[in-house]
Structure formats: C-alpha cells, structure tokens
C-alpha cells in the first residue's frame, strides 16, 4: 500500500511539473471557476432574477459591513498560518486564504482546506504531514470556538425573553441555561484533558488560534446582527440572536454546498 502511494505521489509530482500537467491544472482551475459561476446562476434562476434584484438592500451601510465581514475570515486564517508555519508569512498566505474562503462558503465545505493544503505543499517549506496537521488543528479550534459561540448566543437569547413570556419560561430558561453551561464546561474540560491526543500544535500556536478565532467570530457575529438591524430595524434582538445561532450551527454542517443559500 505504501509502495503504491509512493508511486502515485511520484507520478503526481512528475505530472504537475510537466507542460501537459500544468495545462491540465490550469484547465481544471478554470473548469472549477466555471462550475461555481454556473451553480450560482442556477440557484439564482430558481429563485428568480427579478425577485433577487428587488430583495437587494438599498442601504449602503449594509454592503460596507458585508465587505468587512468577508475580509475577517481570510485575514484571520492568514494570521494563523503565517505565524504558525515556519517559512510562511501573513502576506503570502492571504491570497490563498481568500480562495479557501470562497471554496468553503460558496462551493463545498472543506474543499477550501484541500485547496489550501495543495497550495501550502508548493509554497511553504514544511513537510506535508506538518502542514496537514496544522490545517486539521485549525479546523478543530475553529469548530470549538464557533459551537461555543452558538451556545453562548443561545444562552443570551434565553436571557432576553419578552416580559410576557418571562413567568411562563422562567423554570425552563434556567434549566436550559444551566444545561448549556454544563455542556460547555464538560466540553472545555475534555478538550483540555485530551488536547495532546487531538492537537499537534504547540501551546503558543494553540493560544494564537484560539485568540484569533475568538476575536474574528465575536467581531463577525456582532457585525452580522448590525447588518440585519440596518435592513430590518423592527425585528427584536432575540430574533436576531436565535437566527444567528442557527446560522453558526448550520455553517458547521460538513459538505453542504453554499450553506447560506440552503
């Protein structure tokens, strides 16, 4: 088995270095881009172009916030990988991080990680195993932070229940809040206890990942609520918090194409 893998890797390196291989790779990238564009055209056609155009927000602030939100995630990834990998830089990782985000968000979950690993193998002077383990660890930390964020958002939404439902849901609210904190505490304890089995990065790199992802998730979720509030100011804060928690949870479902449109 290992011999077959070695032969396959040797063939791929030779094919990628050949003229025909470079042409095939460029053609594959162009085909992938065309497939993404065709998929979006198909989805928008299902909705209806006129309806999509009428539904576009008219507030300029909405699009300004959208731009900032879109930049947060690739910049965060570039900071993590540019600092953790020796021989890499934040500036060098930034273009690939943007492509990674486009693939993950607009095409298929985790397809961006596959692309990013292939890019890193060609650009970062580190063994392939080190690169892949770092990407895996970053995925785990991102998932933990996002799920923890969703749990906290749900807990906060329970604390802002309308006054007319406060008496009716008082006991239930306390129960779910307590259960949520217990789950978070158990999850945090398990992560600390088994961190060496799950993660391969150094404590300093782990601290960097946690700090960067916590900061970008917090900023991104606050901006998301502000963006919604700009368009629909009459909605309640609890509505946005519940919707936000659902958005965070659905974004963690693997292998879902364009999860924002599902």
pLDDT tens-digit profile of 153-193?
Answer: 767 766 665 554 445 445 554 555 555 555 555 665 565 55
Which residues, 6+ apart, have CB-to-CB distance to 62 below 8 Å? 227, 230, 231
pLDDT band at 239 (very low <50, low <70, confident <90, very high): confident
Q: 113, 115, 139, 123: which is closest to 85 by C-alpha?
A: 123
CB 136 within 8 A of CB 147: no
Closest CA to 90 of 81, 98, 99, 100: 81
Taking 60 as the threshold, does the pLDDT of residue 67 lie above it? yes
pLDDT at position 169, please?
46
Residue 87 contacts residue 125 (beta carbons within 8 Å): yes
Rounded CA-CA distance 162/169 in Å is 10
Higher pLDDT: 166 or 90? It is 90
| Closest residue by Cα to residue 77 from 138, 5, 166 | 138
Compute the distance between CA of residue 102 and CA of residue 113 in angstroms, rounded to an integer.
Answer: 11
HEC states along 165-220? HHHHHHHHHHHHHHHHHHHHHHHHHHHHHCHHHHCCCCHHHHHHHHHHHHHHHHHH
User: What is the mean predicted confidence (pLDDT) over 204-233?
Assistant: 90
The ranges assigned to domains in the chain are: 1-56, 59-261
Q: What is the distance, to the nearest Å, from the Cα of residue 169 to the centroid of all Cα atoms in its chain?
A: 34
Q: Write down the pTM of the prediction.
A: 0.70
Percent of the chain at pLDDT above 90? 24
Per 3-state DSSP, what percentage of the chain is helix, strand, and coil (rounded to 5)?
85, 0, 15
């Amino acid at each position: 088995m290992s011999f077959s893998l070695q032969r396959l890797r040797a063939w791929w390196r030779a094919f990628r270095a050949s003229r025909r291989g470079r042409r095939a790779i460029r053609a594959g990238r162009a085909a992938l881009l065309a497939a993404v564009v065709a998929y979006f055209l198909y989805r928008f056609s299902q909705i209806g172009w006129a309806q999509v155009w009428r539904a576009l927000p008219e507030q300029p602030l909405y699009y300004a916030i959208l731009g900032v939100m879109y930049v947060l995630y690739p910049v965060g990834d570039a900071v993590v990988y540019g600092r953790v990998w020796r021989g890499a830089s934040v500036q060098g990782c930034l273009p690939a991080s943007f492509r990674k985000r486009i693939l993950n968000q607009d095409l298929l979950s985790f397809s961006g990680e596959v692309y990013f690993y292939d890019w890193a193998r060609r650009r970062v002077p580190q063994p392939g195993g080190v690169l892949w383990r770092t990407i895996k660890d970053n995925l785990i930390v991102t998932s933990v932070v996002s799920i923890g964020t969703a749990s906290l958002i749900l807990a906060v939404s329970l604390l802002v229940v309308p006054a007319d439902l406060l008496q009716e849901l008082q006991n239930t609210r306390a129960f779910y809040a307590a259960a949520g904190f217990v789950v978070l505490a158990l999850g945090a304890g398990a992560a600390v206890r088994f961190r060496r089995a799950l993660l391969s990065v150094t404590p300093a790199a782990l601290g960097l990942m946690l700090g960067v992802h916590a900061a970008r998730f917090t900023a991104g979720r606050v901006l998301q609520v502000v963006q919604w509030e700009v368009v629909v100011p009459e909605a309640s804060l609890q509505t946005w918090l519940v919707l936000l928690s659902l958005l965070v949870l659905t974004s963690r479902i693997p292998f879902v194409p364009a999860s924002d449109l599902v």
